[in-house]
Amino acid sequence: MRLLDRYVGQSVQIAVIAVMLLVMTLFVLVNYFTEMEKIGRADYTAMKALEYVLLWLPKLFYQFFPMAALLGTMLGLGMLAGHSELVVMRAAGVSKLRIAVAAVKSLLALILIAFFVGEVVAPPAEQYAEQMKLQALGSRITFDTQFGLWLRDGQTVINVRSLQQDGRLVGVTLYQFDDQRRLVRRIDARSAERKGEQWELQQVSIADIRPDQVIHLRRQTLPWQTMLDKELVDTVSYNPDSLSLWNQKAYIDYLRRNGLDARLYELAMWKKIVMPLTILAMILLAVPFVFAIGRQVGMGRQVMIGFLIGVAFYIVDRLMGQVGLAYDLPPWLAAGTPTLLILVVSVLLYRRLG
């Protein structure tokens, strides 16, 4: 049985790796051509554009791995079916579940690698890519993101604690310095909203720092002229998927302590927790599909079937997430339901095929 597991697993591993390499190659080509229109602006060279695209590969590897596991398993087992090797295995008394277990065992190392890349490598790589691109394009705004957005706009340092889905900034602090880099004013605002061509700070507290005293003022609203626009905020601010699992947990705690909506981040966190189960479910689903379609279906149709299954899962996953947010469902339920559906379909197919 060990020899059989190794043989089946090797076929699946090679197919999964081949799928990932193909997808990542296409990603690099397509996105590099997209970046070509920016090449030549300021210091944004062809090499920096290539570096920017390559820095996004860890996130792609992590996010696409479930579909790669599905497609790779179908292709790997499909090649065995095409040579009647699966028929021989079944005739020798090897069950479909046993073949599925062999496929799962062969991909455990890749699953761990995908999790490590997604949680440790991808978040800082994505952040560095955006920072490098902005600086190369000559942006006068620099930033650093870690539980909040830090930017420098001229002689003002800006901290934004949270970006809401409606584009509103929550927890805005402005540190204004003079030419000698001395702090001369601090402005704290509960929130900020875009009003035409400028922002408007709301519920504002101002501290004018003078050599002999500090003068405190309060305003209900205060106009805010800044280079910071919504497009830039969307670019440099992190979305829930861009944080590692432990950083998501810390940020959720911060949002809860400050009475802010944390559901979007809770949903993203639970999707990451469920991710390994999703990959296993995809592999288990691929096996009965290969036996169902048999060797009469060519490789091209197998890829199409696997792709359609992956797209259907993606749609259901996104839809369930939106339903969960709209109806305030527990985040673990919204994140886990699509994977549970995959497992139920797999069990039904195994029972039907016998």
252 domain-assigned: no
Same domain, 207 and 278: no
> Residue 21 pLDDT more than 90?
yes
Q: Mean pLDDT over residues 305-309, rounded?
A: 80
Pick from 205, 190, 197, 244: which is nearest to 224 by CA? 197
Domain assignment present for 250: no
Mean per-residue pLDDT, 93-118 = 87
Residues 6 or more apart whose Cβ sits within 8 Å of residue 329 = 323
- Is residue 79 located within the same domain as residue 113? yes
> What percent of the chain stands above pLDDT 70?
87
Q: What is the CA radius of gyration of the chain?
A: 25
For the cut 60, the answer to whether the pLDDT of residue 131 exceeds it is yes
Tell me whether residue 205 is in a domain.
yes
Measure the CA–CA gap between 243 and 256, rounded to whole angstroms: 17
Domain count, the chain: 2
Q: Are the beta carbons of 170 and 260 closer than 8 angstroms?
A: yes
- Is 60 contained in some domain? yes
144 assigned to some structural domain: no
Same domain, 264 and 229: no
Sequence-distant (6+) residues with CB within 8 A of 67 are 282, 306, 307, 310, 313, 314
Look at 99-113, 176-190, 290-304 and tell me which has the smallest mean pLDDT: 290-304
Q: Give, as one character, the DSSP assignment of residue 212.
A: S
Tokens 């810390």 -> residue: 250
Please state the rounded mean pLDDT for residues 219-225. Answer: 90
Residue 150 has pLDDT above 80, yes or no: no
Residues 265 and 121 in one domain: yes
What is the DSSP code string of 214-228? EEEEEEEEEEE--S-
Residue 172 CB contacts under 8 Å (≥ 6 apart), including other chains: 158, 159, 160, 161, 187, 188, 189, 190, 191, 192, 201
Tokens of 73: 């398993």
- Give residue-wise pLDDT tens across range 322-347: 898 888 899 999 999 999 999 888 88
211, 191 Cβ separation under 8 angstroms: no
pLDDT band (50, 70, 90) for residue 8: confident
Whether residues 323 and 279 fall in one domain: yes
Instruction: Check whether residue 6 and residue 132 sit in a common domain.
Output: yes
pLDDT in tens, 231-289: 566 555 556 777 788 878 877 887 777 676 788 889 989 999 999 899 988 888 888 87
- Does pTM surpass 0.85? no
**Residue 147 in this model has a pLDDT that exceeds 60:** no
Percentage of the chain lying above the pLDDT 90 cut: 31
pLDDT tens digits for 29-82? Answer: 999 999 988 888 878 899 999 999 999 999 999 999 999 999 898 888 888 877
Q: Tell me: do 263 and 116 sit in the same domain.
A: yes
Clarify whether residues 209 and 332 are in a common domain: no
Does residue 142 lie within any of the structural domains? no
- What mean pLDDT is reported for the chain? 83
Domain containing 273 equals 2-137+258-353
Listed residues 237, 267, 291: the one ending a domain? 237
In the predicted structure, residue 17 carries a pLDDT above the cut 90: yes
Identify the pLDDT of residue 230: 60
Residues 282/69, Cβ–Cβ less than 8 Å = yes
Q: Are residues 277 and 342 in the same domain?
A: yes
Check: CB of residue 52 under 8 Å from CB of residue 133.
yes
Domain-located, residue 100: yes
Q: What are 153-184's pLDDT values in tens digits?
A: 778 888 887 776 666 788 899 999 988 888 99
Q: Is residue 224 part of a domain?
A: yes
pLDDT of res. 152: 76
Helix, strand, coil percentages, rounded to 5, for the chain: 65, 20, 20
